[in-house]
Amino acid sequence: MDKQARFESIREMTTSFTTVLLCKIADVSRAGYYKWLSTYETRQARLDEDTVLKEHILAIHRIRPHYGYFRMRTALRKEGLTVNHKKVRRLMRELGIQSVIRKKRPFAGRKPSVLFPNVLNREFTATAAKLKLVTDITYVRVGHEFLYLSVILDLFNNEVMAWKLSARNDLELVLETVKQLKTPKALLHSDQGFQYTTKTYAKLLEDHGLQGSHSRRGNCFDNACIESFFSHLKTEKLHLAKPKSEVEAKQLIAEYITYYNQERFQKKLGDRSPVEFRNAIAA
């Protein structure tokens, strides 16, 4: 264990043991520990500030994916967050995002994109289950880091049909979510995120008998139903529980989705849960 980790352990255990004893066990000097502790709150405040900025950057990027770090800085300022462009660039790099129109260097194995027509066209109702599905990815805050949650929702009763949590916002996350479906001949609508416009994704839809549909570029309202689900998940569960690890986040999400599907009643479903509504229609 390195010295910083030992200092952190001492700080966490000082409510139960004396600092003198803990420093002796950890084989560090008290002077060194107190010097580290004097800057701890400053470091934590900086981490908290960066985390808040990252949340705003991710939210802006979803609506304006063509923003580079200069325009992102301006958008943040309009939200009352003053930060220089160098910091914005660093945070965007840490999040793994960049302007979608920025010219990228080619790399081996790159596949040309596929764009589906907007078949859904904001018609967010379905006459039967497993006819119209929507999918998207959202970020999940875990401490000062972020995980990515991919979800597929049935527009017939707003039931979550499949989901996957990952530390990486990549093509594999999307593919593994779609592979959970057992719904041939359904429409699957998404935004134009890079994962959803690859030939690999299009081939997977074809293999599963699914019809692809894409929102217009940068228009979050074309996929509003699943954005609403993400809002409920965060407001009613994640923001309250504040998971500290990927394992904890996955458990909380699983608990909420079970509750959402089986118990959480919705006005549009006649005050029934998605599963209750589906069973009532089938009866």
Instruction: Look at residue 13 and tell me if it is in a domain.
Output: yes
Instruction: For residue range 81-128, list pLDDT tens digits in order.
Output: 888 999 999 988 888 777 765 444 444 444 448 999 999 999 998 999
Q: Output the pTM of the full model.
A: 0.70
**Cα radius of gyration (the chain):** 23
Question: Are 23 and 149 found together in one domain?
Answer: no
Report if residue 117 sits inside a domain. no
Residues 53, 167: one domain? no
Q: Low-confidence residues of the chain, pLDDT below 70?
A: 1, 100-112, 218
The pLDDT value recorded for residue 105 is 47
**Is residue 33 domain-shared with residue 142, that is, in the same domain?**
no
Same domain for 68 and 30, yes or no, is no
Q: For residue range 238-254, list pLDDT tens digits in order.
A: 999 999 999 999 999 99
How many domains in the chain? 3
- Estimate the crossing angle of helix 246-262 against helix 224-233, to 10 degrees: 120
The predicted structure's pLDDT at residue 109: 44
Phi, psi torsion values for 154, nearest 5 degrees: -90, 120
Q: Please classify residue 212 by burial: count the beta carbons closer than 10 Å to its beta carbon, then call 0-12 exposed, 13-18 middle and 19+ buried.
A: buried
Could you tell me if 186 and 165 are in contact, meaning their C-beta atoms sit under 8 angstroms apart?
A: no
Same domain, 174 and 211: yes
The Cα–Cα gap between 230 and 140 comes to 10
Instruction: List beta partners, residue 63.
Output: none
Based on the domain organization, do 24 and 91 belong to the same domain? no
Domain assignment present for 51 = yes
Give the domain CATH number at 220: 3.30.420.10
Could you tell me if residue 60 is inside a domain?
yes
Which domain covers residue 19, as residue numbers? 3-38
Query: Which residue is it, tokens 């790099």?
Result: 93
* Residues 160, 196 within the same domain: yes
